[in-house]
Chain A
Amino acid sequence: MMSTESITLESGKKHTKRYPVRPSITVYDLVPLILFILVISLIFIIKPRLANVQFVELKANAGLTLVLATAGQTLALLTGGIDLSIGGVLSLTSSLAATMMTDEPLNILLWCAIILLIGMGAGLINGYVIAVLRVPPFIATLASWSIFNGLALLVLEDPGGHVSEPLRALVRSDPLGIPNSIVFIAILIVAWLLFKRSKWGTRLYAVGSDEAKAYLNGTDIVRTKMLAYVLSGCFAAVAGLYRTVEVGLGSPIAGDPFILTSAAAALVGGMSLAGGRGDLVNSILGAFIMLFIFDLIQFAGISSFYTPMVQGLFLILAVTLNTIGYRLQIRKALEQ
């Protein structure tokens, strides 16, 4: 193919209108950040002494599992799908990590690799069933969640097992002076920002925005969806491993709470079930908002039974704000 710049379009160059450069982030993209600041401010108002480094470290460590699950979920949502199998994969890798991993460095490396492969395999299966067999994502991943959950129960009947101590020590160390969980989240954000602007990132948004039109533009729909679910599977697998190391034991049902919470977190962060919209950074904020609501209720001395209710209300609030923002943005642009 000839490069773009080689086209001659005759009649000489004419200087056309230049539009003012607008900031790439609009106020509407900041809704999750504003909600995040709101929730964390409330916590610090109720318990001012929590505003310290230890609290941040504690929350980052505890929140990383949900952040990972939400990151995977975000990629699936971006294509217009959903990944319910996150729960099953997380349970399976959690169970495997708690039963198979020893203190041997080689064994640890081997099982880390196997766990990643399991995530990748789960994603390939989901991607194949969804993109090639064209089973709706909700059904396809509901089925694979069930399958992986069954496998997890074969590996580990009840919560328990043991944790590989060297791995735990490694995860808990802070070679850079900051907790590894925070370093990991930072790396995740940087990688995302690079990916978002790459060819594959653009395709992911394109497929979610309008699959038929993405196809007309030459996108390989199957490969793009495969990529989303493979990454989602890998995130879930790593989340399962991390949770086992963090909590100190494995569980064959470890993943279940993360299925819907990851979706809710991503939606609070401005993702759309229709796909093509949203940003992983905002999803991560969404994950922390969900976690901090839990803390907020506890610190306010309210029974934790109210947590799901408040989380539900917050989900409606956030999605309403995001939707209004999205519409306002379009209306404002069209009026100009």
Chain B
Amino acid sequence: MAYLELNNISKRFGGVVALDEATLHCTKGEVHGLVGENGAGKSTLVRILSGALQRDDGEILLDGTPVAFPNPAEAVRLGIGMVYQELSLIPDLSVGQNIFFGQEQSGVLGMTSRRALRERCYDLFDRMGIDVADPDRLVNQLSLPQRQMVEIAKMIVHNPSVIIIDEGTSALGRTQIEWLLEFCRNLATQGRTIIYISHNLSEIRQVADQITVFRNGEDVGTRAHGEASTDELVSLMLGRKIGRLYPERTNEIGSEPMLEASHLRAGTRLRDVSFTLRKGEILGIGGLTGQGQEEIFRALFGIQRAQGEVRLEGKPITIHSPSEALSHKVGLALVPEDRATQGVLLPRSVSDNISLSVLSRLLRLGFIDRSAERAVVESAIDRFSIMVADVADPVESLSGGNQQKVVLAKLLATKPKVLMMCDSTRGVDVGTKAEIYTLLRELTATGSSVLWYATDSDELTNMCDRVLVIRQGLVEAELTPGMITEENIIRASMGEPINHNGTDPDELKQSAGIHAIRRHA
């Protein structure tokens, strides 16, 4: 019998239906995978379960008893533990204060001592069997992977019987992901129920006993472990047989260079990187995470101070700020990795966000020409098929994939010469990814160039004209057409010599412990 039943749950946001009579049944001791495109309603469903949102309709049964979660505190009390996609940590409190928030064991006069908190943290980390972070550090001083680990630790402290992990691995490294998957299996063995949401199908297929697919706010099918192929899951998610995920290479690579960087050096990680990006080219940047790839983008976009020389269309340039990079005569645009904090103004409308980057071109006698603005916004919404009820809706009301499309729309409105993608498709659903890929091809066909750091080696092999693999802040290998294979990318990332004639990449991936998403051609 199902331990947790969500029956016919419906939820609307304004005019947008997020959930339409969605149903999910989970038994004790199972890991239940939830997959679906962004905006399919997975996050909304689990946020209703965690008390963060209130359902409009439907019922929730826990162990056969109807329950209500009017607020997150009540859900936690009834044994629901949630790892939020956007994290629920309080930035100005320490790791320890966050983990034991609301569970402070009062010492003398109701005080919680730093030392006691630290000991409790270490005790918890020991029992989790993994290093999380310095308990005394403030959360706003942690890296994203560390925050994600703290979020997991905080969830487990309440000893939940139902555990929800909503995109809990997007920022984690390989060993941490391996740990989490095993941890989930252990928790399930103890009779807990785990709901695991991820865009990474190989992760889901590895960990889940049951997989439920969501589409357009409904559950469209449940498959047992090993019963469904990736292809079947993807077509369930999309509701149609998908054709090619990656569009044909149509761009012509020019001979003249668009962007040349020589001896770039920034921060502690980026030591010495030089490259030339030609007109109409998509140049991929690969390698393990944290090898200095992000610094390349931060340096080029003027967010981080760097040494080295940068030339645009042959002319040396120095960029001190994003506004200089985005300006008409430079034309460097960056699609950041963390759209929530770097890409968009969440509380502002879709319309404001799109027009903001091109305001100076919409001026008439110093005032904004509203009809010109509307034209720009509407064409962008059309071109990017952004799902929005009203252009005046705030961006934060959109799903993650649609938010990322707003970022792209905003940047492409500036007609950039170089579009820089910094792991921009992470956490984006397959359907939106396919649209983004098509847009990139269209962009390069018009003579613009793309510099693309991707953690997904599939994207590098299928979308890029050349790939630079960065290791320890240096260019480890340059892969030219014919040599761009997943195997070579993985080999170069680990400092192994690259292979000029193809062997079976799967074997190497297994030995490296990398579980790449297996995609259909």
Contacts and interface: CB of A to CB of B under 8 A. Distances in A.
A161 interface: no
A198 B111 contact: yes
A209 B129 contact: no
A7 B159 contact: yes
B470 to A, nearest CB: 19
A5 B122 CA distance: 12
Interface stretch (A14-22, A88-96, A99-107, A317-325): A14-22
A24 B96 CA distance: 13
A176 to B, nearest CB: 22
A6 B71 contact: no
A206 B126 contact: no
B141 A4 contact: no
Interface string B102-116: 111010011111100
Contacts of A6: 159
Contacts of A208: 92
Interface stretch (A65-73, A211-219, A232-240, A259-267): A211-219
B93 A209 contact: yes
Contact of B76 (A15, A202, A206, A218): A218
Interface stretch (A35-43, A147-155, A164-172, A328-336): A328-336
B13 interface: no
Contacts of B98: 217
Interface string A194-233: 1001110010011011100111111110000000000000
A21 B73 CA distance: 32
B202 interface: no
Indicate the member of B87, B88, B118, B157 with the most A CB atoms within 10 Å. B88
A276 B88 CA distance: 15
Interface in A1-58: 1-2, 4-19, 21-22, 24
Nearest to B123: A5
B136 interface: yes
A205 B120 contact: no
Contacts of B84: 216
Contact of B73 (A11, A218, A329, A334): A218
Indicate the member of A6, A9, A21 with the most B CB atoms within 10 Å. A9
Nearest to B129: A14
Nearest to A2: B159
Contacts of A198: 104, 106, 109-112
B67 interface: no
A202 B93 contact: yes
A220 B101 CA distance: 13
Contacts of B124: 4
A210 B126 contact: no
A162 interface: no
Given A216-B72, A329-B141, A330-B140, A16 B159 contact: no
Contact of A215 (B71, B92, B131, B132): B71
Contacts of A9: 127-129, 156, 183, 186
A19 B134 contact: yes
B316 interface: no
Contact of A13 (B76, B110, B127): B127
A170 to B, nearest CB: 28
Given A199-B104, A330-B141, A16 B136 contact: no
B416 interface: no
B136 A213 contact: no
B344 to A, nearest CB: 17
Given A4-B100, A330-B141, A205 B92 contact: yes
Interface string B349-393: 000000000000000000000000000000000000000000000
A110 to B, nearest CB: 31
A11 B93 CA distance: 30
B397 to A, nearest CB: 14
Interface string B66-92: 000001110011000000100111111
Nearest to B84: A216
Interface string A261-279: 0000000000000001100
B103 to A, nearest CB: 6
B52 interface: yes
A71 to B, nearest CB: 19
B104 A209 contact: no
B126 A13 contact: yes
Contacts of A220: 73
B88 A217 contact: yes
B85 to A, nearest CB: 12
Contacts of B118: 21
A4 B101 contact: no
Given A6-B159, A213-B91, 16 more contacts: A4-B120, A8-B190, A10-B190, A199-B102, A205-B90, A206-B101, A208-B92, A209-B90, A210-B92, A214-B90, A216-B50, A217-B88, A218-B102, A219-B101, A333-B137, A333-B141
Closest 9 CB pairs of A and B: A218-B73, A333-B141, A209-B92, A19-B134, A276-B92, A197-B111, A216-B88, A9-B127, A17-B131
5 contacts: A7-B156, A16-B126, A202-B112, A209-B91, A210-B90
Interface of A: 1-2, 4-19, 21-22, 24, 194, 197-199, 202, 205-206, 208-210, 213-220, 276-277, 329-330, 333-335
